[in-house]
Structure 1
Amino acid sequence: MIFFTPASIEFRMIIPIRCMNCGKPIADKWRFYKRELVKMNGIENGEKRVYFDGTSIPVTNEKKLMDAIGINRSCCRKHFLTQVDLIDKI
Protein backbone atom coordinates (compact mmCIF):
# COMPACT_ATOMS: atom_id res chain seq x y z
CA MET A 1 0.00 0.00 0.00
CA ILE A 2 1.42 3.38 -1.00
CA PHE A 3 0.39 6.68 0.52
CA PHE A 4 1.10 9.86 -1.41
CA THR A 5 0.21 13.29 -0.12
CA PRO A 6 0.67 16.32 -2.41
CA ALA A 7 -0.60 19.36 -0.53
CA SER A 8 -3.84 18.27 1.14
CA ILE A 9 -4.74 15.42 -1.22
CA GLU A 10 -4.05 11.84 -0.18
CA PHE A 11 -4.11 9.00 -2.71
CA ARG A 12 -4.27 5.40 -1.65
CA MET A 13 -3.92 2.69 -4.19
CA ILE A 14 -3.81 -0.96 -4.93
CA ILE A 15 -2.91 -1.04 -8.60
CA PRO A 16 -1.30 -4.00 -10.37
CA ILE A 17 2.47 -3.81 -10.75
CA ARG A 18 2.12 -5.00 -14.34
CA CYS A 19 -0.71 -4.96 -16.83
CA MET A 20 -2.70 -8.17 -16.48
CA ASN A 21 -2.89 -8.66 -20.26
CA CYS A 22 0.42 -7.59 -21.79
CA GLY A 23 2.76 -7.59 -18.78
CA LYS A 24 3.97 -3.99 -19.21
CA PRO A 25 4.97 -2.33 -15.88
CA ILE A 26 2.36 0.31 -15.01
CA ALA A 27 2.52 0.86 -11.23
CA ASP A 28 5.45 3.29 -11.48
CA LYS A 29 3.35 5.70 -13.53
CA TRP A 30 0.24 5.70 -11.29
CA ARG A 31 1.22 8.40 -8.75
CA PHE A 32 2.41 10.77 -11.46
CA TYR A 33 -0.79 10.16 -13.43
CA LYS A 34 -3.07 10.92 -10.46
CA ARG A 35 -1.11 14.03 -9.42
CA GLU A 36 -1.02 15.49 -12.93
CA LEU A 37 -4.67 14.65 -13.54
CA VAL A 38 -5.69 16.67 -10.50
CA LYS A 39 -3.60 19.60 -11.78
CA MET A 40 -5.07 19.36 -15.28
CA ASN A 41 -8.66 19.12 -14.08
CA GLY A 42 -8.16 21.93 -11.60
CA ILE A 43 -10.22 20.25 -8.90
CA GLU A 44 -9.17 18.64 -5.66
CA ASN A 45 -10.90 15.29 -5.76
CA GLY A 46 -9.83 14.40 -9.32
CA GLU A 47 -13.36 13.50 -10.42
CA LYS A 48 -14.70 15.32 -13.43
CA ARG A 49 -17.41 13.72 -15.51
CA VAL A 50 -17.43 13.79 -19.28
CA TYR A 51 -20.51 12.46 -21.01
CA PHE A 52 -20.27 10.84 -24.43
CA ASP A 53 -23.40 11.28 -26.52
CA GLY A 54 -22.16 9.55 -29.66
CA THR A 55 -22.07 12.67 -31.82
CA SER A 56 -18.48 13.57 -30.96
CA ILE A 57 -15.54 12.07 -29.11
CA PRO A 58 -13.88 14.72 -26.95
CA VAL A 59 -10.17 14.52 -26.20
CA THR A 60 -10.10 14.23 -22.42
CA ASN A 61 -7.33 15.14 -20.02
CA GLU A 62 -6.95 11.45 -19.22
CA LYS A 63 -6.13 10.66 -22.86
CA LYS A 64 -3.66 13.53 -23.14
CA LEU A 65 -1.90 12.46 -19.97
CA MET A 66 -1.72 8.76 -20.86
CA ASP A 67 -0.29 9.67 -24.27
CA ALA A 68 2.33 11.84 -22.55
CA ILE A 69 3.50 9.14 -20.11
CA GLY A 70 3.52 6.36 -22.71
CA ILE A 71 0.43 4.34 -21.82
CA ASN A 72 -0.59 3.49 -25.39
CA ARG A 73 -2.12 0.03 -25.23
CA SER A 74 -5.82 -0.25 -24.54
CA CYS A 75 -5.26 -2.99 -21.96
CA CYS A 76 -2.96 -0.73 -19.92
CA ARG A 77 -5.29 2.25 -20.29
CA LYS A 78 -8.08 0.09 -18.89
CA HIS A 79 -6.23 -0.21 -15.58
CA PHE A 80 -5.75 3.55 -15.29
CA LEU A 81 -9.31 4.46 -16.24
CA THR A 82 -11.05 1.86 -14.10
CA GLN A 83 -8.86 1.95 -10.98
CA VAL A 84 -10.95 2.47 -7.82
CA ASP A 85 -9.26 3.36 -4.54
CA LEU A 86 -10.88 0.65 -2.42
CA ILE A 87 -8.67 1.25 0.62
CA ASP A 88 -11.04 4.03 1.71
CA LYS A 89 -14.02 1.68 1.53
CA ILE A 90 -12.47 -1.33 3.28
Structure 2
Amino acid sequence: MIVPVRCFTCGKVIGDKYYIFKERVEQGEDPEKVLDDLGIERYCCRRTLLSHVELIDDIMKYKVY
Protein backbone atom coordinates (compact mmCIF):
# COMPACT_ATOMS: atom_id res chain seq x y z
CA MET A 1 0.00 0.00 0.00
CA ILE A 2 2.35 2.72 1.21
CA VAL A 3 6.01 2.59 0.21
CA PRO A 4 7.83 0.61 2.90
CA VAL A 5 10.33 2.75 4.79
CA ARG A 6 12.41 -0.24 5.84
CA CYS A 7 12.95 -3.73 4.50
CA PHE A 8 10.56 -6.08 6.27
CA THR A 9 13.26 -8.72 6.77
CA CYS A 10 16.53 -6.97 7.64
CA GLY A 11 15.35 -3.47 8.59
CA LYS A 12 17.57 -1.54 6.15
CA VAL A 13 16.17 1.85 5.12
CA ILE A 14 14.96 1.59 1.50
CA GLY A 15 12.03 4.01 1.36
CA ASP A 16 14.14 6.89 0.08
CA LYS A 17 15.19 4.87 -2.96
CA TYR A 18 11.77 3.66 -4.13
CA TYR A 19 10.73 6.63 -6.26
CA ILE A 20 14.16 6.83 -7.90
CA PHE A 21 13.91 3.11 -8.67
CA LYS A 22 10.37 3.43 -10.01
CA GLU A 23 11.22 6.40 -12.23
CA ARG A 24 14.30 4.77 -13.75
CA VAL A 25 12.51 1.48 -14.45
CA GLU A 26 9.62 3.32 -16.11
CA GLN A 27 12.16 5.03 -18.36
CA GLY A 28 13.20 1.58 -19.59
CA GLU A 29 16.27 0.74 -17.51
CA ASP A 30 16.90 -2.80 -16.33
CA PRO A 31 15.64 -3.22 -12.72
CA GLU A 32 18.69 -5.30 -11.81
CA LYS A 33 21.08 -2.55 -12.90
CA VAL A 34 19.06 0.16 -11.14
CA LEU A 35 19.08 -1.76 -7.86
CA ASP A 36 22.83 -2.29 -8.18
CA ASP A 37 23.37 1.44 -8.84
CA LEU A 38 21.27 2.37 -5.80
CA GLY A 39 23.30 0.07 -3.56
CA ILE A 40 20.51 -2.40 -2.84
CA GLU A 41 22.48 -5.64 -2.58
CA ARG A 42 20.55 -7.86 -0.18
CA TYR A 43 17.97 -10.06 -1.84
CA CYS A 44 15.38 -9.27 0.83
CA CYS A 45 15.61 -5.53 0.10
CA ARG A 46 15.54 -6.16 -3.65
CA ARG A 47 12.44 -8.31 -3.23
CA THR A 48 10.71 -5.60 -1.21
CA LEU A 49 11.28 -2.95 -3.88
CA LEU A 50 10.53 -5.21 -6.84
CA SER A 51 7.30 -6.62 -5.45
CA HIS A 52 5.81 -3.41 -4.02
CA VAL A 53 2.46 -2.39 -5.53
CA GLU A 54 1.17 1.10 -4.86
CA LEU A 55 -2.51 0.81 -3.95
CA ILE A 56 -2.87 3.95 -1.85
CA ASP A 57 -4.49 5.94 -4.68
CA ASP A 58 -7.09 3.22 -5.25
CA ILE A 59 -7.90 2.90 -1.56
CA MET A 60 -8.23 6.66 -1.05
CA LYS A 61 -11.35 6.58 -3.25
CA TYR A 62 -13.13 4.74 -0.45
CA LYS A 63 -12.01 7.02 2.36
CA VAL A 64 -14.72 7.49 4.95
CA TYR A 65 -14.89 10.68 7.00
TM norm structure 1: 0.60
Larger RCO (CA under 8 A, 6+ residues apart) = 2
1:62 corresponds in structure 2 to: 31
| Percentage identity across paired residues of the two chains | 44
1:29 corresponds in structure 2 to: 17
Higher-helix-fraction structure: 2
- Summarize deviations over 1:11-50 as a string: whole Å, max 9, x none: xx61211111111100000111111111125xxxxxxxxx
Aligned structure 1 segments of 4 or more residues deviating by more than 3 angstroms: none
Q: Which runs of 5+ in 2 are unaligned?
A: 60-65
TM norm structure 2: 0.80
1:88 corresponds in structure 2 to: 57
Number of aligned residue pairs: 59
When the two chains are superposed, the root-mean-square deviation of aligned CA atoms in Å is 1.4
Higher-strand-fraction structure: 1
